[in-house]
Structures are given as structure tokens and as C-alpha cells.
Amino acid sequence: MRILTGFLLSLILAGGASAARAGYTPDFDSGIDVRLAIEAALEAASSAGGLLPEPQGRPAPETVWVSMEKSDVAALDGALFKRAPVAQNKRIAIYEYETDRLAALADGMQRSFYRAPGFFAHDTLESALEDLKAPPAVPSRAYTLDQAARVRDLAARVKEEPVLAVINAMSAFKNRGSRYATGVDASKWLQKEWAKFASGRSDISVAPFKHAAFPQESVVLTVRGAVEPEKVVVIGGHIDSVAGYGDTPAPGADDNASGAAVTQEAIRVLVESGYRPSKTLKFIGFAAEEAGLRGSADIAAAFKKEGVQVEGMLNLDMVNYKGSEKDIYFVTDNTSADQNAFLGRLIDTYLGYTWGTLKCGYGCSDHASWTKNGYPSSYAFESTFEQHSPFIHKPTDTLGSCGGSAVHAAKFARLAAAYAAELGK
Ligand code: BES
Ligand code: ZN
């Protein structure tokens, strides 16, 4: 179980919380009633930007197990790593680490690589050792393209204005961090917006996916398949944002209001067109990606445990900053090469955009959670790795920093709709 934000934030902000709006009723899967604790903390709060406290009953342990890329360790300040790893493979090393030094480690990562936190913290060694295992092999499958009329209809319906509206609304929440009251609000807001698409359609439902370890909920819109409902296609992106710790505004317009907005636009055109897919489509706004892929880790693991047949997953994270020559880039590591090739064919056949590839070099977003659980996943991205938006994880990640338009994002909405139609058929 990943526990990163919990410990980091509770240490750094010393339990501070304020400005949570009245009427918030947390409801955790774990069955722990944290309302009293939250109320007490809110009363005692000083001024830490609406941060909600740790759920009761999860005291911070003194040590955790951190898994990190070895190349990162080598490049970091040696003072952070005067110790031998307790386990390692070619790429990843695991260290026992004092909880109260995690903040310094995250800070070192941010200064060296502009990645925060850039490592995973686990509360047991057993959980950390999972990170050393190769992900389960994904069985190969055939991808066919024969839904031309459907795809062209959907692509023609995509508009920039609804995408802009979602980016504006989401980036207006001061900080969508998974432990912030405003992060909880943003998730609730998206649930309400998506619920509008379910009215008048008995095959469409919207539900939160609740997480035991943090209050922000993931948002799931399901279009139940008309022929093979047990087969599921997942499309989504994270809804949380980050910009350092504490009271800093984190508009996260590109990272990742843009991906959530594109996910919603794909839903909107599918509903508007009256499309009824054969397979089940699940559109998901993932909570707590910036805290270490925690929302998607919970969901993908739950799906695997329940034996859900996920036909494919498309991750949309940072899709509105046109930093490079080509239109769409696919991440080639921690993704399915077969499905990436299928997405390239979708573009060539129906959309006519230019596309390229990039590598993250680490499990940089929610696609990695699906790969880890043996599901074919892909990650469509705005640019090359080097030319991505320089504003992310800062208060300057605004729509204005993306040129104030959604021209770039709209391409990804067309791709998502095409993917839904050809994989969901
Ligand atoms: N959208 C980013 C990932 C990203 C950034 C991909 C730049 C390509 C270029 C994502 O939200 C993020 O910030 N991920 C974290 C890692 C995660 C495990 C916390 C990161 O990159 O530090
Ligand atoms: Zn990010």
C-alpha cells in the first residue's frame, strides 16, 4: 500500500487544516468514521490551505520503504542516501527510510528533476518488493478498424468550448490535492457534471470510487455494454493537482484538468450521438495521481481482484500544451506496444494528425497502474518529454499558459472517442 502523501503532508504541515467548507461528510471504504477527527482538526486549524488531516487509526510509522529508480539515486545529493538498499533489481532499489526524512527526499527530487515526489513510499517491505517484480505479461489480441462512419461522426461532434469550460472550472479550485478540501470539492463537482450525462439513459451510471487512505474520490461514469457488458474499456485521466506543499495555488490546468476535460468531451459526444457500445465503457477521473498513482492503483488492483476483463486503458494526462512539432505523442514505456500501434492506426486512418513517441523512464502516470495489473494500457501525451509544458506543478499551470485555447486538447478528445468506438464495438 502506498502511503506517500499521508506521511509527507502530515509531517510537513503538522496536521494543519482550514477553510474546508461546511457540510463535508467523509465516507471512507474502510468503515472508519473520521468525521469527529476532521471536525476537531478543522477547529484547531491554523492556515494550511484547506488540507484535511490524516484519517484516524493510521498513525505514521517511524520508517517506511521507499522504492526509487537507481539512476535517480545516483544523481541525487549523496547526503540523502548514506545507506545500502535492502533490495534491488537492475533498475529499482528499495531503502528503509525514516518517515521524518521523506520531506527532505521529496525536496531533493523536486530540485534535481522537477518531479514531486518521484518515488514511492510503502508502509511494508512486502509492498515495496512488489515494485521489483516485472508486470504480468499482457496477452496479445487483434485490433480491427471497421467503424469508419461511427468514428467520423463522433470526431465531428468534438468542440473546444466544452473542453475549455471544464478546464476553467477545475483550475478555479485553488488546489485539487487529494487531501485538500478543495480537492474533495473538485471531485464532487465533476461527479455532478458527469451525472448530467446519465439522465434519461438507464445504461449510464455515475459513481464515486472511494479510497480508504485519502478523502478525494475518483469519479467513474459507466456506459454498460449492450452485447458483452463483462468486457470493459477504460478511458481517463487524473483530477488532482499539485504545486509544492501547503497553501500554494495549484490550478493544474494542463496537469491535468486538460485530461479530465478531454475525458468528459469524449463522454459528451458519445451521449450526444446516441451511441450504444457493445462492450462496457468506463470513463474515470483518477484521484491522487500526484501522490504516487494512488487512485488508479486502488482501482486497477480492485478490478484485477474482481476479475474484471479490461480490454484496454487509455490515459490522458497533459494534453493541452503544444510544445512540439507533432500533434500527439505516445509513451512507450509501461504501456502496451500493440495497443499503442492500434492508436497510431486510428490516427492515420481517421484523424490525419501527426504523431510520435516519447519515454517517461518511470511509471509517470496512471497508465502504469493498469500495466502493473496485467492490462493493456497506453498514454497519449502533448509533446516530447523535453518539450512538455514548463509550467506544471506550479501556480502558473493555467489555461493562459497553454495559449488560452483547447485546440490541442480537442485532438485528444477525437482520439479518445475513436478509441471508444473501435475497442468498445
Ligand atoms: N503528468 C505528470 C507526468 C508527466 C510529467 C509525464 C512530465 C511526462 C512529462 C504526472 O501528473 C506527474 O507529475 N507524475 C509524477 C510521478 C507520480 C508517480 C507522482 C512525476 O512525474 O513526478
Ligand atoms: Zn503532475
- Nearest ligand atom owner, CA of 382: 1
Distance CA 93, CA 351 (A): 42
Q: Is the minimum distance from the CB of 113 to ligand 1 under 6 angstroms?
A: no
Ligand 1 midpoint to CA 300 (Å): 18
Which of 220-234, 260-274, 287-301, 328-342 is predicted with the least confidence, judged by mean pLDDT?
Answer: 287-301
pTM of the predicted model as reported, rounded to 2 decimal places: 0.82
Q: Measured from the CA of 360, which atom of ligand 1 is nearest?
A: 8
350-394 pLDDT tens trace = 999 999 999 998 889 999 999 999 999 999 999 999 999 999 999
Q: Measured from the CA of 115, which atom of ligand 1 is nearest?
A: 22
172-186 pLDDT tens trace = 999 999 999 999 999
Collect all residues with Cβ–Cβ distance below 8 Å to 147 and sequence separation of at least 6.
Answer: 421, 422, 425
Q: Measured from the CA of 358, which atom of ligand 1 is nearest?
A: 8
Q: Is the minimum distance from the CB of 397 to ligand 1 under 6 angstroms?
A: no
- Nearest ligand atom owner, CA of 238: 1
Ligand 1 midpoint to CA 232 (Å): 26
Q: Please name which of 286, 312, 292 lies closest in space to residue 374, comparing C-alpha atoms.
A: 312
Catalytic residues: 238, 255, 289-290, 317, 393
Q: Is the minimum distance from the CB of 176 to ligand 1 under 6 angstroms?
A: no
Confidence (pLDDT) at 103? 73
Confidence (pLDDT) at 21? 27
Distance CA 317, CA 23 (A): 31
Ligand 1 midpoint to CA 210 (Å): 22
Ligand 2 midpoint to CA 358 (Å): 16
155 vs 294: which has the higher pLDDT: 155
- Nearest ligand atom owner, CA of 365: 1
Distance CA 242, CA 11 (A): 17
Q: Is the pLDDT of residue 22 over 70?
A: no
SS3 state of residue 191: helix
Q: Is the minimum distance from the CB of 183 to ligand 1 under 6 angstroms?
A: no
CB 404 within 8 A of CB 262: no
Collect all residues with Cβ–Cβ distance below 8 Å to 398 and sequence separation of at least 6.
Answer: 171, 251, 253, 391
317-332 pLDDT tens trace = 999 999 999 999 999 9
Confidence (pLDDT) at 54? 55
243-277 pLDDT tens trace = 977 789 999 999 999 999 999 999 999 999 999 99
Distance CA 409, CA 402 (A): 10
Runs of H (alpha helix) within 123-257: 125-129, 148-157, 160-171, 181-195
Q: Is the pLDDT of residue 98 over 60?
A: yes
**Secondary structure element (H or E) that encloses residue 78, with its range:** none
Confidence (pLDDT) at 345? 98
126 vs 318: which has the higher pLDDT: 318
Which of 57-61, 134-138, 223-227, 273-277 is predicted with the least confidence, judged by mean pLDDT?
Answer: 57-61
Q: Which residues keep their CB under 5 angstroms from ion ligand 2?
A: 255
Q: Please name which of 1, 137, 142 lies closest in space to residue 61, comparing C-alpha atoms.
A: 1
Average pLDDT, the chain: 85
Mean pLDDT (whole number) for 4-16? 32
415-424 pLDDT tens trace = 999 999 999 9
Q: Is the minimum distance from the CB of 331 to ligand 1 under 6 angstroms?
A: no
Q: Is the minimum distance from the CB of 318 to ligand 1 under 6 angstroms?
A: yes
Q: What is the DSSP letter of 140?
A: P
Distance CA 115, CA 57 (A): 30
- CATH assignment, 148-423: 3.40.630.10
Confidence (pLDDT) at 37? 36
Query: Could you tell me which residues are beta bridge partners of residue 310?
Result: 232
Distance CA 269, CA 273 (A): 6
Q: Is the minimum distance from the CB of 292 to ligand 1 under 6 angstroms?
A: yes
**Per-domain residue ranges for the chain?**
2-48, 63-132, 148-423
Distance CA 94, CA 103 (A): 17
76 vs 338: which has the higher pLDDT: 338
Nearest CA to ligand 1 atom 17: 292
25-79 pLDDT tens trace = 333 333 333 333 333 333 333 335 567 765 544 445 578 788 888 888 888 877 7
Confidence (pLDDT) at 49? 57
Q: Is the minimum distance from the CB of 290 to ligand 1 under 6 angstroms?
A: yes
Ligand 2 midpoint to CA 153 (Å): 33
